Amino acid sequence: YPHIPPSAIESFHAHLASSTRVLALLGAGLSASSGLPTFRGAGGLWRTHEATDLATPQAFSADPGLVWQFYSYRRHMALNVKPNMAHYALAEFAKKMPGFQTLSQNVDGLSPRAGHPAEQLKLLHGSLFDVKCHNFFCNYVETANYTDPIVPALALPTDEDVDLTTNAAREASREARELDIADISVALPDVPETALPHCPSCGGLLRPGVVWFGESLPAGVLETVDAFLEDPLGVDLILVIGTSARVFPAAGYIEIARSRGARVAVINTEMDLPPGQLTKDDWFFQGDAAVIVPELLR
Ligand code: BJW
Ligand code: ZN
């Protein structure tokens, strides 16, 4: 990789060879080269909305149809892309190193699909393919729901739906083309609340099983992470891959790992960590995670 001095890769490999307890903190940049947009920066806008503004319980309460269309679109996108070489390299590395724990902020299902062992993959922010009841008194949850669209009303519109005049003139053989509802020039279908997914247990609205701002991370996940970080053996290394490290508690794991002895290796296309986060003993490997991670874990 042109930007990276071979000596940095060598010193990283030397440290990795003597490491037994390794963490990885994964963010949206890991899946960027698979074709999924990140949250911040270019691609962080969905129609006129900041992706992070839609990822809140307030947005869902105010307009569940809009928020479901956003998530239905993301489920569809995620199901139609493939894990990249970095997802595979991390999965293979996990199988080789029992003391490797992966903390993923990603909800796209690409690490599981790359064969990453489940016990070494903690989904900090849930999954697009989990669905749960929105009613606080109901604990209905569904995992591994890959139905796309999850209900017929959330199907992406096609050019036949919106362009009836040219449709009449179109040759019968041509198939309806799916429209990209992330594109502001495509009218967003109006989805009535009754047509959204409903809870088979209490009849309430179902919602995506992801962690929104202001919500707690899954309790079991937090326990595993805390146990790993508090282990008397300490932490040898933390790989910080494709994340802007702005969202807590995830971002805080970098400094906690450092305080437990870990060296820090950042893999990112940009120098994007909050100012002052990177110290002179850290490695910064600038570039596409899909290229650099396989090289580092070789
Ligand atoms: C590439 C690349 C390539 C591009 N190769 N790299 C302490 C201080 C201040 C605030 C708080 C705090 N503790 C808690 C809070 C509140 C809040 C928070 O952190 N706010 C901050 C923003 C200030 N946190 C919470 O609310 C959390 N809950 C919580 O703490 O509960 C207890 C509590 C409640 C209330 C008050 C206090 C405590 C929950 C956070 C949930 C985050 N959820 C989301 C949405 C998930 C569902 C969905 O997907 O829609 O998670 S937000 C969004 O951000 C998503 C992501 O997982 C997360 C992180 O983003 P990520 O992955 O870093 O993406 P980007 O886009 O930011 O960065 C991509 C990076 O990749 C960039 O650096 C690029 O350069 C790089 N890149 N291409 C390598 N090819
Ligand atoms: Zn329910």
Whose atoms come closest to the Cα of 26: which ligand?
1
Question: Which atom of ligand 1 is the closest one to the Cα of 105?
Answer: 57
Structural domains of the chain, ranges and CATH numbers in brackets: 1-36+83-125+217-298 (3.40.50.1220), 38-80+126-210 (3.30.1600.10)
Of 48-52, 86-90, 261-265, which gets the smallest average pLDDT?
48-52
Q: Does the structure's ipTM exceed the value 0.85?
A: yes
Binding region for Zn(2+):
133, 138, 199, 202
Tell me which of 76, 87, 116, 125 is the catalytic residue: 125
Of 36-45, 96-105, 194-203, 221-230, which gets the smallest average pLDDT?
36-45
Asked whether residue 10 carries a pLDDT value surpassing 60, the answer given is: yes
Residue 54 backbone dihedrals phi, psi, to 5 degrees: -85, -20
| Known active-site residue 76 | no
> Is pLDDT larger for residue 165 or for residue 113?
113
Quote the pLDDT of residue 276. 84
**DSSP per-residue string spanning 224-279:** HHHHHHH-TT--SEEEEES----STTTTHHHHHHHHTT-EEEEEESS--SPTT---
Distance CA 281, CA 264 (A): 8
Mutate to test the pocket of ligand 1, among 213, 273, 285, 295 (most ligand atoms within 8 A of CB): 213
pLDDT tens for residues 200-237?
A: 999 999 999 999 999 999 999 999 999 999 999 999 99
Q: Residue 159 Cα, ligand 2 centroid: separation in angstroms? A: 35
* pTM for the model: 0.95
Helix (H, G, I), strand (E, B) or coil at 160: helix
pLDDT tens for residues 162-179?
A: 655 555 555 554 567 888
Q: Residue 211 Cα, ligand 1 centroid: separation in angstroms? A: 10
Asked whether residue 60 carries a pLDDT value surpassing 50, the answer given is: yes
- Counting residues of the chain whose pLDDT is more than 90, the rounded percentage is 81
